[in-house]
Chains A and B, each alone.
Chain A
Amino acid sequence: MNSRLISIIRKEFIQILRDPRTLGIILVIPIVQLFLLGYSATSDVRNIPLAVFDQSQSPEARALLDAFRAADYFRIDYAVNSQEEIAVLIESGKARAGMIIPPDYANRIARGDAQVAFILDGSDPTSASTALSAAQLIGQAHATDILQEKIARSGMPFELKPPVEVRTRVWYNPDLVSAYFMIPGVIGMILFAITSILTATAIVRERERGTIEQLIVTPIRSWELVIGKITPYALLAFLDTLEVLAIGHWWFGIPIRSPLSLILALSGLLLLSGLGIGLFASTIANTQQEAMLTVWMTLLPAIFLSGFFFPLEAMPKILQVVSYIVPLRYYLVIIRSLLLKGVGVAAIQNEIIALALFGIFIMGAAALRFRKRLD
């Protein structure tokens, strides 16, 4: 192998190892992010605090409340004595939902036209929509039970059965755990952010400290300088990938349904884009701070348009179109498919090609801009 290249890589490694603080940050930040996002960025809604104004105080009303208690979507925290109290509790955020059972509930059940009011705090649409469908489902199931009971009591030889039943089955993530969706995303985000930021700052640091002027007058070729400087950081990024993968698997229970070699190979494809963006930023910036900002300016929109937090399908058409130039978007499809679905290359070949094309394009553009000269 090329000895100049080895010299640069060795020098870069010595510098990384002499700076244990930065090294620590590089290795610890992904873990912190993983735990933060793995636990906080979840749309799984459980134990919504519920306030109940039960005016009926009848066995029928208690049966309804039991049905709500049985499903763990709601927690009946408050039994109140007026509608105003519900309003106060929801306004103060102590309760997220309220239920009002009318005084004639038991009688109307007997007549078959009972109603209860259900109030939801819609300020957080994600949990509100989950709560809404949960409340409706619980109500419907309870209604069916009551009907069933009535028919049974009437002594008719008739079993109540809906004419159509939609049987759902959720594949890959049967319990719909958000972490399954988030953690592959975290892997992509970390890989992308670390490679682009470290590459940009590592190269700009030479310019900022003035060492680049000494490097320019050596026979080092531009590509040797670039490859030599980014190889150590690419290796660190791979180490981060393995780290996040291991914690995701053993702590959060994320399945790994594809061979590790394939996962790492396709992660390498994302590295190409991250390194390219970092290199490109380094040709624009003169200080490490500028480099950092430049990378973040591209990183933040890229993360939002990648489908990491918000599903792309829900975005306006124009943003969906823009998202096609976001490499992270393709990688997220790839890594989620590999980890959760265990699919082969054929199923994700379009994304692989798109990711590769983007990587080659941005690397090429950066390499064209990167000149071994001061002007």
Chain B
Amino acid sequence: MQYLIHATNLKKSFGGNRAVDGIDLSVAPGEIYGLVGADGAGKTTTLRLLVGALRLDEGQASVCGYDILRQTEQARAQTGYLSQRFSLYEDLTVLENIRFFAEVRGLTSKEWLPRCLEILDFVGLAEFRDRPAGQLSGGMKQKMGLASALVTRPRVLLLDEPTTGVDPVTRQDFWQLVIKLVSTPLRLPPNSENLGGEKEGGQVSVIITTPYMDEAARCHRVGFMKGGRIIAEGTPGELRATLTGRILELRGQPLNLLRHLAAGDEDVEDVQAFGDRLHLRLRQGSAGQVLKRLPQRIKSGGGTLSDLRQVPPVLEDVFIALTE
């Protein structure tokens, strides 16, 4: 398979600090790749390297076959990038903003208007086209950012925490747009020279960084970043499978006491509160013993147990396990 994004051994330091420390990354057409990790894990730096906003110290990266160091502008022509602190010109209207980004990215005076209207329609901002960008809500601003990144119909879309600070409904909308984008093959413009000649299979690749696990679960593949490296990678199912059989759910009263008792068990690695429940992560293969042992300990400790059972792990469990 031809990868649209292909990177090997990316490295980048700021001063003595290794922000990105040897990352390999490949994303196929039609694939949404999620980069997750704690703040400072190197997610933003990775995207900035892929778009050439930062210069690689070491390693090699290509976008649609264009080397990011030697053919920077060709690579960028294929890339739509939505930076984390995406900001638009607040004193320009929605249409003026998109027009500006369309024109500086090479759309001619004939092309830009139909393309801008089409993309505004796509993200659902058509009726706000004459509104100053400064008067848009946070979610609309993000959609506008997406529109300005998409206006040149890039084959690669790099989204840096696009939904941080956005309400759940808008997050849902935003994801529907991204999913729609990768699932429908790109309509080829009349002169498709900026697609590098590949007329067939014009599907888009997306890399999205997110701190939200429910969003990571929507990605086709997820890479967990820590300390500038990808420490685990796979489909959400594969990642969850690494903890299969090691997660117990515990309900009962009082929660604080249960938490204390559970943490005291020699086979429990970690206890996390999920609302009125506790998730216990166990040592490999110890589920049977813990299921037998823990109810007694809770009883003798003075707590009431209402439920203790094995549950399928969620990505959040995986994330916490990997972050430690």
State the CA gap A211–B145 with chains docked (Å): 11
How many chain B residues touch the partner (CB < 8 A)? 31
Taking a contact as CB atoms under 8 Å apart, the answer to whether B87 and A7 are in contact is no
CB within 8 Å for A373 and B103 given contacts A214-B83, A218-B76: no
Taking a contact as CB atoms under 8 Å apart, the answer to whether B91 and A15 are in contact is yes
Taking a contact as CB atoms under 8 Å apart, the answer to whether A217 and B51 are in contact is yes
Taking a contact as CB atoms under 8 Å apart, the answer to whether B106 and A219 are in contact is yes
How many chain A residues touch the partner (CB < 8 A)? 24
Taking a contact as CB atoms under 8 Å apart, the answer to whether A373 and B87 are in contact is no
CB-contacts of A218-255 with B (<8 A) = 218-220
The residue in A6, A7, A18, A217 that gathers the most chain B C-beta atoms within 10 A of its C-beta is: A217
CB within 8 Å for A216 and B53 given contacts A7-B100, A8-B104, A375-B14: yes
Taking a contact as CB atoms under 8 Å apart, the answer to whether B89 and A374 are in contact is no
Taking a contact as CB atoms under 8 Å apart, the answer to whether B54 and A214 are in contact is no
State the CA gap A160–B53 with chains docked (Å): 88
- Asked if A14 is an interface residue, CB under 8 A from chain B, the answer is yes
- Asked if A111 is an interface residue, CB under 8 A from chain B, the answer is no
State the CA gap A207–B52 with chains docked (Å): 17
CB distance from A236 to the nearest CB of B (A): 17
Taking a contact as CB atoms under 8 Å apart, the answer to whether A15 and B87 are in contact is no
Taking a contact as CB atoms under 8 Å apart, the answer to whether A375 and B92 are in contact is no
CB distance from A205 to the nearest CB of B (A): 10
The residue in B52, B53, B79, B88 that gathers the most chain A C-beta atoms within 10 A of its C-beta is: B53
Main SS class of interface, A: helix
- Asked if A124 is an interface residue, CB under 8 A from chain B, the answer is no
Taking a contact as CB atoms under 8 Å apart, the answer to whether A4 and B103 are in contact is yes
CB distance from B280 to the nearest CB of A (A): 42
State the CA gap A373–B101 with chains docked (Å): 18
CB within 8 Å for A19 and B91 given contacts A8-B104, A374-B53: yes
CB within 8 Å for A7 and B48 given contacts A375-B14, A375-B54: no
- Asked if A210 is an interface residue, CB under 8 A from chain B, the answer is yes
- Return the contact of A210 from the options B86, B99, B103, B104 (Cβ within 8 A): B86
CB-contacts of A3-53 with B (<8 A) = 3-4, 6-8, 11, 14-15, 18-19
Taking a contact as CB atoms under 8 Å apart, the answer to whether B106 and A217 are in contact is no
State the CA gap A11–B91 with chains docked (Å): 10
- Asked if A213 is an interface residue, CB under 8 A from chain B, the answer is yes
Known: A11-B89, A213-B85. 8 other contacts (CB 8 A): A7-B104, A11-B100, A18-B92, A19-B91, A211-B89, A213-B86, A214-B101, A219-B106
Q: Which 8 pairs from chain A and chain B are nearest by CB?
A: A7-B103, A210-B85, A210-B87, A213-B83, A18-B91, A217-B81, A218-B104, A209-B87
Binding site for B on A (CB under 8 A): 3-4, 6-8, 11, 14-15, 18-19, 209-211, 213-220, 373-375
